[in-house]
């Protein structure tokens, strides 16, 4: 994909992987729509983007622990931009030794499931009309190789909560959604793929988890940009990549019944049903 003059939304782009991807897009001449929870950091990012390229760059403030704010973000993007060529669902929160207690989103859902998965699910569907009008377009879901099967009897982990499990479950949910949406959009020239960008990149999220970085943010950004722009992937959809290698996710991702259950639950929780 020639990224010049294209429009791309990168969620969670004021830090870490999202920030580097946004800068890469700006350097390629893309109009970059950025997102984060902190307006001051958003302003600083815009200054960097304007120095890096000549695209029209915008920052949108929204907290993904609130579905109302996700809806507002989608409405603002659709109001301001007649086209959207790329959506990178990158926003998320990790888990670490400090995550001992179960937390809930503003809507009463388990926090990691809400922020890492439900927000991107809702945003993608709300922006789908614009993506379809802009086709060919691409959706990239930033997931993880750390995955755990969803327990549909306790999706919100109200019993025996564990932050690591919550994170892994939310990341697998992204992959189920990727495959499901790719099938729904078959033949409509909008591809949907997911990836594990790199293992323990040198980001604030990884440091907060108490982990020693094993890879760089630039390596992760390389992987994301491949899914965003590679000509070789122009017609590839519904795939999961481990960095830049097509890979297999947890077996539950390929269970059509599990995907059906997750789709129905997600539409009900986001009021899309």
Active site residues: 167
Q: Is the peptide bond before 209 cis (omega within 30 degrees of 0)?
A: no
Is the four-CA dihedral 262, 264, 265, 268 of positive or negative sign?
A: positive
- Answer for the pair 18, 88: CB distance below 8 angstroms, yes or no: yes
Please state, in angstroms and rounded to a whole number, the distance separating the CA atoms of residues 66 and 64: 5
What tokens were used for 271?
A: 């009021």
Q: How open is the CA angle 222-94-185, to the nearest 5 degrees?
A: 60
Strand order in the sheet with 86-89: 58-61, 31-36, 7-10, 86-89, 137-142, 190-196, 240-242, 245-247
Catalogue the E-assigned strands of the chain: 7-10, 31-36, 58-61, 86-89, 137-142, 190-196, 240-242, 245-247
Largest CA distance in the chain: 51
């Amino acid at each position: 994909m020639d990224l010049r003059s294209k429009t791309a939304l990168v969620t969670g782009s004021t830090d870490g992987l999202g920030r580097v991807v946004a800068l890469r897009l700006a350097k390629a001449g893309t109009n970059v729509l950025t997102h984060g929870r902190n307006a001051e950091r958003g302003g600083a990012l815009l200054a960097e983007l304007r120095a890096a390229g000549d695209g029209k760059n915008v920052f949108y403030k929204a907290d993904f622990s609130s579905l109302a704010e996700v809806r507002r973000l989608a409405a603002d993007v659709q109001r301001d931009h007649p086209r959207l060529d790329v959506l990178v669902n990158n926003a998320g929160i990790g888990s670490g030794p400090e995550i001992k207690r179960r937390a809930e989103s503003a809507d009463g859902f388990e926090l990691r499931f809400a922020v890492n998965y439900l927000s991107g699910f809702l945003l993608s569907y709300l922006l789908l009309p614009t993506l379809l009008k802009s086709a060919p377009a691409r959706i990239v879901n930033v997931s993880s190789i750390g995955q755990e099967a969803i327990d549909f009897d306790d999706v919100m982990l109200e019993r025996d909560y564990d932050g690591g499990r919550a994170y892994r479950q939310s990341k697998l949910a992204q992959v189920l959604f990727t495959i499901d949406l790719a099938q729904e959009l078959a033949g409509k020239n909008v591809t949907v793929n997911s990836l594990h960008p790199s293992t323990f990149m040198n980001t604030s999220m990884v440091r907060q988890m108490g982990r020693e970085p094993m890879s760089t943010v630039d390596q992760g950004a390389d992987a994301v940009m491949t899914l965003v722009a590679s000509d070789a992937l122009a017609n590839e959809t519904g795939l999961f990549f481990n960095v830049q290698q097509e890979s297999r996710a947890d077996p539950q991702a390929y269970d059509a019944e599990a995907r059906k259950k997750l789709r129905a639950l997600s539409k009900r929780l986001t009021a899309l049903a």
